Amino acid sequence: MGATSEDAPSLTASAIVAPAVSGSHILRIEGYSRTKGLGNGKFITSETFSIGGHRWHLKYYPDSRDSKDSDLISIFLHLDHAADRKEVRAIFTISLLDQNGNKVPSYSKSSMLYCSFSAGRQGTMGYDLIKRSELEGSGAYLKDDAFSVRCDVTVAKEIFTKAIPLPGAGRSGVVEQEQKEGVVEQEQKEATSPPVGNGV
């Protein structure tokens, strides 16, 4: 008795998908010299921006966030609001820009790994970006009393699974169809070819 389709072993495939959404925000500080002296640990906020469906802003500390060294300029990323989620996982990079709008590699700092942000006091992370003396001593970054920084953010979205076609399954179907068409074409040629007989 022949095997039925129910007896044949089945093979299926699925994928675990971990999507992410990326975005960037540029903050320009104009009148830099007039922001100095604001006070250690005090900051000025950027406009709010949206990345990954969540609201963020940057915090600019002209006199450092840390009381140990007020000569540092600090930039921190803050999560304002998490849409439908208590925690947001994100990778971020904060970079100083030159006058052409390019990132300065020596003044670019990245979290490298995903960090957990939650709206509120636990939603702020960032870096001491550059010493004020180094910024002021270089015309490549500070010009007309202004400079810019850029923050790149990649937000991890909810992981999900989905069914996917078997590897090569699509091609095997095409090959099978081509084989069937080849057989039909050959049969048609044989049916229309004149018979070959012995000469009289």
Q: Above pLDDT 90, what percent of the chain?
A: 64
124-154 pLDDT, tens digit per residue, is: 999 999 999 999 998 899 999 999 999 999 9
Cα separation, 127 vs 109, in Å, equals 7
pLDDT tens figures, 3-40: 565 677 889 999 999 999 999 999 999 999 999 999 99
**What pLDDT score does 119 carry?**
78
> Computed over its alpha carbons, how large is the radius of gyration of the chain?
32
Q: Could you tell me the pLDDT band of residue 157, with boundaries at 50, 70 and 90?
A: very high
Backbone angles phi, psi at 194, to 5 degrees: -70, 145
pTM for the model:
0.76
Tokens found for residue 48 = 């709010």
56 closest CA partner among 80, 83, 21, 73: 80
Of 93-107, 118-132, 160-174, where does mean pLDDT reach its minimum? 160-174
Q: What is the pLDDT of residue 68?
A: 74
What number of H helices and E strands is found in the chain?
Answer: 2, 12
How many beta carbons lie within 10 A of that of residue 190, not counting itself?
8
* DSSP string for residues in 131-196: EHHHHHT-TTT-BTTEEEEEEEEEEE---EEEEEPPTTHHHHHHHHHHHHHHHHHHHHHHHHSPP-
